[in-house]
Amino acid sequence: MRDGVSRNFKLYLLDVFLLLLYLQYSSCSSADSLKGSLNMDRKEDALLPEISPTGSPQPFLPLLAPSPLAPYTNSTLPKLSGLCTLKFDAVESMMGVTSIDCVAPFAEYLANVMCCPQLETTLVILIGQSSKYTNMLALNGTLAKHCLSDFQQILVSQGANDTLQHICSLHPSNLTEGSCPVKDVREFETTVESSSLLAACRKIDLVNECCEQTCQNAISEAAKKLALKAYDLLSMQGAEVLSDHSTRVNDCRNIVHRWLGSKLDPNGAKNVLRGLSNCKNNKVCPLVFPNTSHVTKACGDGMNNRTACCNSIESYVSHLQRQSFVTNLQALDCAASLGVKLQKANVGKNIYNLCHISLKDFSVQVRVVSGCLLPSLPSDAVLDQITGISFVCDLNDNIPAPWPSLSHLPVSSCNKIVKIPALPAAASGQTSMNSLSIGSHLRLLALTVLGSLYYT
């Protein structure tokens, strides 16, 4: 009882503290200014329809936090089918990390850079580790349904979003062999050069693998050998061979990943598979670009109103900020993609430079001073019982968005036109308080406390 009273008293003090912070800031700035600084009260633009995974997301850091008594995890046990044969205890710690990476309020915003890569990696390693007992690197359709349901139930019971299958486009078929003809471990190891495969992928260089593709090439060779067991290529027509073979190779690549997940320890397998996942994700911009007509009208050739142009591009970018966090390399691709799109619509001037558009403007705004670019190397969110959920942001590299030119396309992680560090300049990812005004300092502190209450 005393513990309960003490906890409620502490929460009461926090509420009072928040109120005092708000009142102190309100004395030197209006409430409307506060809302603007928190990126909460953007005016809707009729020319820019809302685009997001859910269509109408709530603000990333809500001004009105949920009840301080709202628990981080559910108090009920997961409802399991009892029919799944996978060994969930083999990846228990990984599932805990996954539930935090895919935490309910933020899963959609972290989907492409953190949640879904970690979710898919955990599932691959789960099947791989379970193959030590079943000798199988895939499940049949019926078992896949039960296991996928149990997998999500466990994650949700630990605080993960309950719509992960939708967010990450995950289906029972992702647990089967698909069109790959090999799922038996013994057959796998007699078909491919397993020792060479393991040597190439046991420990990859996360910085250079995306360009050198040492492990990726070994996986592709193994997948091709598995796919060739399905049929005699000479008995099929050329176009049919190419189409069918390509699909089989992709499905067999999943089998190879699971085999690696069985031969490496879970942490080692996670580093490899998350690294390979980031190689793929960092190549493309994950954002969806709405119609640019109002930007091209204000900023096209013959532009005579710089203010109108900048207001237009800033309004457009504000809609992109509602979609997803992006990595620093993805931001480069997003800037290039939007720049090319505008150039094709007759915008010849470098409006990124003209209107001071930076790479961070393409990502979700998490702090009062800037957006948050995630590092290009794999990372995970962290749960702290005091401060709540946190993750590393590249806050100290305020890099202007590069306006694309014919001599610098395409932008890629192997041929960058702007130097982007794989890791943030500050290991902690924290913004230096010296660069903040007193008002910003108070707002930043208030957000930290709100985050603590949200997950306590």
Average pLDDT over residues 337-354: 94
Instruction: Considering only residues 35 and 162, tell me which one the structure prediction assigns the higher pLDDT.
Output: 162
Helix, strand, coil share (%) of the chain residues, nearest 5: 55, 5, 40
Average pLDDT over residues 52-77: 38
| pLDDT tops 80 at residue 23 | no
Instruction: Considering only residues 372 and 35, tell me which one the structure prediction assigns the higher pLDDT.
Output: 372
Most trustworthy range by pLDDT among 52-66, 98-112, 395-409: 98-112
- Cβ atoms within 10 Å, residue 407: 6
**CA–CA dist 111, 277 (Å, integer):** 13
pLDDT in tens, 153-204: 999 999 999 999 999 999 999 999 999 999 999 999 999 999 999 999 998 9
Q: Which of 69-78, 252-261, 364-373 has the lowest mean pLDDT?
A: 69-78
| Res 441: pLDDT | 30
| Res 409: pLDDT | 53
Q: Which of 172-176, 200-204, 249-253, 429-433 has the lowest mean pLDDT?
A: 429-433
| Res 155: pLDDT | 95
User: What string of H, E and C letters represents the secondary structure of 261-295?
Assistant: HHHCCHHHHHHHHHHHHHHHHCCCCCCCCCCCHHH
Instruction: Considering only residues 297 and 427, tell me which one the structure prediction assigns the higher pLDDT.
Output: 297
| pLDDT tops 50 at residue 9 | no
How close are the terminal C-alpha atoms of the chain, in Å?
A: 18
| Res 246: pLDDT | 87
**CA–CA dist 50, 326 (Å, integer):** 18
Identify which of 265, 262, 193, 198 has the alpha carbon closest to the alpha carbon of residue 224: 193
Instruction: Considering only residues 317 and 26, tell me which one the structure prediction assigns the higher pLDDT.
Output: 317
Whole-prediction pTM:
0.76
| Res 16: pLDDT | 41
| Res 413: pLDDT | 56
**CA–CA dist 152, 15 (Å, integer):** 34
Instruction: Considering only residues 83 and 421, tell me which one the structure prediction assigns the higher pLDDT.
Output: 83
**CA–CA dist 94, 195 (Å, integer):** 26
Confidence of residue 387 (pLDDT cuts 50, 70, 90): confident
**CA–CA dist 137, 234 (Å, integer):** 28
Q: What percent of the chain has pLDDT over 70?
A: 68
Most trustworthy range by pLDDT among 25-34, 305-314, 360-369: 305-314
Alpha helices in 282-349 (DSSP H): 293-299, 306-320, 328-344
| Res 414: pLDDT | 72
Structure letter (DSSP) for residue 114: I
Contact by Cβ (8 Å): 39, 365: yes
Alpha helices in 27-170 (DSSP H): 31-37, 92-101, 116-134, 141-157, 164-167
**CA–CA dist 160, 108 (Å, integer):** 11
| pLDDT tops 70 at residue 60 | no
**CA–CA dist 383, 454 (Å, integer):** 12
Phi first, then psi, for residue 86 (nearest 5°) are -70, 145
**CA–CA dist 404, 13 (Å, integer):** 52
Q: Which of 91-95, 120-124, 306-310, 436-440 has the lowest mean pLDDT?
A: 436-440
| pLDDT tops 60 at residue 419 | no
Confidence of residue 420 (pLDDT cuts 50, 70, 90): low
**CA–CA dist 321, 383 (Å, integer):** 24
| pLDDT tops 90 at residue 440 | no
Average pLDDT over residues 296-324: 92
Average pLDDT, the chain: 76
Average pLDDT over residues 346-357: 94
Contact by Cβ (8 Å): 150, 88: yes
**CA–CA dist 377, 374 (Å, integer):** 9
